[in-house]
Amino acid sequence: MAERSRALTFLLLGLFLGLAGSSPPPEPVECARGTSDCTVTNVYGSFPDRTICRAANATFPRTEKELVAAVAAAAASKRKVKVATRHSHSFTKLACPGGRDGTIISTERLNKTVSVDAAKGLMTVESGMVLKDLIQAAAAAGLALPHSPYWYGLTIGGLLATGAHGSSLRGKGSAVHEYVVGMRIVTPAPASQGFAVVRELSVGDPDLDAVKVSLGVLGVVSQVTLALQPMFKRSVTFEKRDDTDFASQAAMWGGLYEFGDMAWLPRQGKVIYRKDDRVPVSTKGNGLNDYLGFRSNPTLALITARATEEHLEEDGSDIARCLAARAPSVLFELQAYGFTNDGSFFTGWPVVGFQNRIQASGTCISSPEDGLLSSCTWDPRIRSPFFYNSGFSVALSKAPAFIAEMQKLRDLKPRAFCGLDAKLGVLLRYVRASSAYLGKSEDSIDFDVTYYRSYTEGEPRANSDVVDEIEQLALRKYGAVPHWGKNRNFVFDGVIAKYPKAAEFLKVKARYDPDGIFSSEWSDQVLGIKGSPNIVEKGCAIEGLCVCSKDSHCAPEKGYFCRPGTVFSEARVCLTRAAFGDESDDLLEEQ
């Protein structure tokens, strides 16, 4: 056991030390003939239901005028249409046009800065601009986007469409859409208006509350104007503590630090608290966040890491998996998560640096092509670590009780949580209530987990029941809402009923796109317009396509049966017979 663990540690070290160079992620849109006969996928190369999304053709407008022409062409022939972005990071089929003969409009070439007004703190960019470039362009004018997702490979159009955020309860909070003060969106129009029009929205226009977070169903956002702040500095310290008072800390932490977050390592019983606050620009330090998980990795190391992971998953015991689960968090801590005090070396906390160097990272997207010697961890062109990512928000007022129940489940089944520790735990981030119709209706904590996914459809995951129980607990008992850009199918079932302003959103949709050319089967299911996002079939609960209601939804032939949850008895999860009984905790023996 110890040997295997050492081998894994060695391997992961190789992995995270990284190499120079990288291949940028593959194109999400691929066409068999020129710009016709296309497929669109996400950056992982696979949607949760593993369908291949086809479109008749794709266009790559460079200007708003070309964009208007593209929308007009689709509207004139009432053809289905969807926007794809440079990398398409959303898990679910949001970028997939309806039917099979739809059109894809890629915003890849709509990535220019339109204008910057440093004195007013306003910046207007085209919607396909990648967050990395946006942050850089703002910084060049002395401005900072106060909050953003932690990964800068997203586009402004895509991250707004899915309500993406960082972590904060201060001011307007961490969602990027809170900083939008203007948008231009191209929507279908009657023939008399040339089949497409540009609608210009600014603060005070109620439609902005629909367009800010739109799931891409209202039209194509052409430009976005953001209210930025003068560049500032932050001071970051990570501190690992026991998780005994985690529930009560979670209620307070967002009030203590402007950019505070928490990462819970359930099996280890630890929480990594992020103390992260604004400091005067005169504070010394030129720190850099080059997060380890978002760096490029040697392809060989990724393949080996995946092979080890698959071996542990399929043939390993819980004890072996739990031993292996320690390495990533140890290695990340040893390397200060990829933070340095000066861009090269880490000498100790706090790391003080300018907002643009701390707020987000993702060096694996921007290195030059190296023939796939190295790549982002999730590159689908190699047999790399393949995973699911679930994200859901629980109202701040209910979060401590939810955390306490997760801890109770952990106490009953500690070893089943090792898979989460192995992926660096549960990330907790703060998001404020929003006026956006599809934004959060209350101040919330967003919980984010990453976990193993098999390349083989229907192959059970070890201890899948704990993630499934936690998700159902959050969604059903604590009224959680899923992140629009993450998750598996079943979490979107009925979710629209949790949005008090959903009807307002649908009214704007009916006005902007009466023929629903921007709607797909998937968006209709998610928005509760038609059908259900659940796909109820053999093995569906294994893939997160349904909540099981009978054994055949799990994998009875492999020993997985549909059973009630352990702590939340209303949950229905796939369990092995071995897991029905109690589990004794021998944490100490494992050490």
Of 170 and 486, nearer to ligand FAD (C-beta) is 486
Least Å distance between CB 361 and ligand NAG? 17
Least Å distance between CB 89 and ligand FAD? 3
Q: Which of 22, 23, 106, 107 binds ligand FAD (CB under 6 A)?
A: 107
The burial class, CB within 10 Å (0-12 / 13-18 / 19+), for 5 is middle
Least Å distance between CB 130 and ligand FAD? 8
One symbol per residue from 214 to 253: x for binding ligand FAD (CB under 6 A), - otherwise; what is it?
Answer: -xx---xx--------------------------------
Does residue 487 bind ligand FAD (CB under 6 A)?
no
Task: Tell me which of ligand FAD, ligand NAG, none is bound by residue 111, counting a contact when its beta carbon lies within the kind-specific cut-off of 5 to 8 angstroms.
Answer: ligand NAG
131 touches 162 (CB < 8 A): no
Of 38 and 462, nearer to ligand NAG (C-beta) is 38
Q: Which of 64, 133, 207, 590 binds ligand NAG (CB under 6 A)?
A: 133
Of 211 and 575, nearer to ligand FAD (C-beta) is 211
Give Cα separations from 20 to 133, 366, 370, 375, 385 (angstroms). 21, 12, 10, 10, 20
Give the whole-angstrom CA distance, residue 172 versus residue 500.
19
Give the whole-angstrom CA distance, residue 570 versus residue 476.
9
Give the whole-angstrom CA distance, residue 282 versus residue 139.
17
Give the whole-angstrom CA distance, residue 497 versus residue 486.
19
Task: Tell me which of ligand FAD, ligand NAG, none is bound by residue 213, counting a contact when its beta carbon lies within the kind-specific cut-off of 5 to 8 angstroms.
Answer: none
Task: Tell me which of ligand FAD, ligand NAG, none is bound by residue 253, counting a contact when its beta carbon lies within the kind-specific cut-off of 5 to 8 angstroms.
Answer: none
* Cβ-proximal residue to ligand NAG, closest one: 133
Give the whole-angstrom CA distance, residue 431 versus residue 399.
12
Does residue 94 bind ligand FAD (CB under 6 A)?
yes
Of 1 and 140, nearer to ligand NAG (C-beta) is 140
Tell me which DSSP letter residue 8 carries.
Answer: H
Sole window of 85-93, 281-289, 304-312, 473-481 interacting with ligand FAD (rule: CB under 6 A): 85-93
Least Å distance between CB 583 and ligand FAD? 33
Task: Tell me which of ligand FAD, ligand NAG, none is bound by residue 56, counting a contact when its beta carbon lies within the kind-specific cut-off of 5 to 8 angstroms.
Answer: ligand NAG
Least Å distance between CB 317 and ligand FAD? 30
In sequence order, which ranges of 82-198 are alpha helices (DSSP H)?
A: 131-140, 156-161
Whether omega for the bond prior to residue 350 falls within 30 degrees of 0, making it cis, is: yes
Sole window of 89-97, 133-141, 337-345, 461-469 interacting with ligand FAD (rule: CB under 6 A): 89-97
Give the whole-angstrom CA distance, residue 244 versus residue 270.
8
Give the whole-angstrom CA distance, residue 158 versus residue 163.
9
Tell me which DSSP letter residue 163 carries.
Answer: T
Of 340 and 393, nearer to ligand FAD (C-beta) is 393
Output the CA torsion sign for 44, 46, 52, 54: negative
Of 380 and 556, nearer to ligand FAD (C-beta) is 380
Q: Can you state the percent helix, strand and coil of the chain, rounding each to 5?
A: 35, 25, 45
Would you state the structure tokens that stand for residue 391, as one six-digit string?
């994200």
Does residue 82 bind ligand FAD (CB under 6 A)?
yes
Output the CA torsion sign for 579, 569, 424, 375: positive
Does residue 393 bind ligand NAG (CB under 6 A)?
no
Of residues 37 through 56, those in contact with ligand NAG by CB under 6 A are: 56
The burial class, CB within 10 Å (0-12 / 13-18 / 19+), for 69 is middle
One symbol per residue from 79 to 118: x for binding ligand NAG (CB under 6 A), - otherwise; what is it?
Answer: ----------------------x-x-------xx------
Of 71 and 475, nearer to ligand FAD (C-beta) is 71
175 touches 439 (CB < 8 A): yes
Does residue 57 bind ligand NAG (CB under 6 A)?
yes
Of 91 and 273, nearer to ligand FAD (C-beta) is 91
Of residues 150 through 169, those in contact with ligand FAD by CB under 6 A are: 150-151, 154-155, 157-159, 161-162, 164-165
Give Cα separations from 189 to 60, 211, 574 (angstroms). 21, 17, 48
Give the whole-angstrom CA distance, residue 237 versus residue 358.
12
Binding footprint of ligand FAD on the chain (CB under 6 A): 43, 82-85, 87-90, 94-95, 107, 127, 149-151, 154-155, 157-159, 161-162, 164-165, 215-216, 220-221, 485-486
Q: Which residues bind ligand NAG (CB under 6 A)?
A: 56-57, 77, 101, 103, 111-112, 133
